[in-house]
């Protein structure tokens, strides 16, 4: 049982993981809340489903991705179940790269060139952040740390 608790909740008392976790959680919670609730200038779930349908993504997958972003982002932000949430965020970003961003190349479309979307560089940065949390845990000042601290 201790191995399972460590696998799910375990974390080092790391300041750097805290910084990565808070940044990652804030980004994903905000983007997920746009998709689910229409907060922060977002379109809400109904319009998100319609937009994703145009890309060939089924409604159930859209809802799952939006919830993983919103709830997973919140979980990472507060540091509760941060490791499994980070893994879910990695999967969402890999799908986003495969379905949307790969065809546009590596770089973001800073010039907002018409007809060209953003590349996958931002997704790759988010994946790296999520993998850091997945490997090392939520870091200091996390709820996971209260449940299964690793070292001091």
Domain count, the chain: 1
Question: What range does the domain containing 103 cover?
Answer: 14-147
In a domain, 3, yes or no: no
In a domain, 2, yes or no: no
Closest of 138, 106, 98, 111 to residue 15, by C-alpha = 138
In a domain, 86, yes or no: yes
Asked whether residue 118 carries a pLDDT value surpassing 70, the answer given is yes
Give the pLDDT confidence score for residue 31 in this predicted structure. Answer: 98
In a domain, 90, yes or no: yes
What is the Cα–Cα distance from 63 to 73, expressed in whole angstroms? 15
In a domain, 88, yes or no: yes
In a domain, 106, yes or no: yes
Q: What is the pTM of this model?
A: 0.92
* 151 or 111, greater pLDDT: 111
In a domain, 152, yes or no: no
Report residue 1's pLDDT band, with 50, 70 and 90 as the boundaries. Answer: low
In a domain, 79, yes or no: yes
Give the pLDDT confidence score for residue 151 in this predicted structure. Answer: 65
What is the Cα–Cα distance from 152 to 147, expressed in whole angstroms? 14
């Amino acid at each position: 049982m201790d191995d399972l608790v460590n696998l799910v909740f375990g974390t080092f008392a790391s300041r750097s993981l805290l910084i990565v976790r808070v940044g990652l959680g804030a980004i994903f919670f905000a983007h997920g809340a746009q998709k689910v609730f229409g907060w922060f200038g977002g379109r809400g779930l109904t319009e998100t489903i319609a937009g994703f349908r145009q890309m060939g993504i089924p409604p159930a997958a859209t809802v799952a991705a939006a919830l993983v972003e919103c709830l997973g982002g919140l979980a990472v932000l507060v540091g509760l179940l941060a490791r499994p949430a980070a893994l879910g965020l990695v999967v969402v970003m890999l799908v986003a790269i495969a379905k949307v961003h790969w065809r546009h190349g590596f770089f973001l479309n800073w010039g907002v060139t018409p007809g060209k979307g953003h590349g996958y560089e931002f997704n790759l940065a988010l994946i790296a952040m999520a993998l850091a949390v997945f490997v090392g845990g939520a870091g200091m000042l996390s709820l996971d740390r209260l449940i299964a601290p690793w070292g001091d």
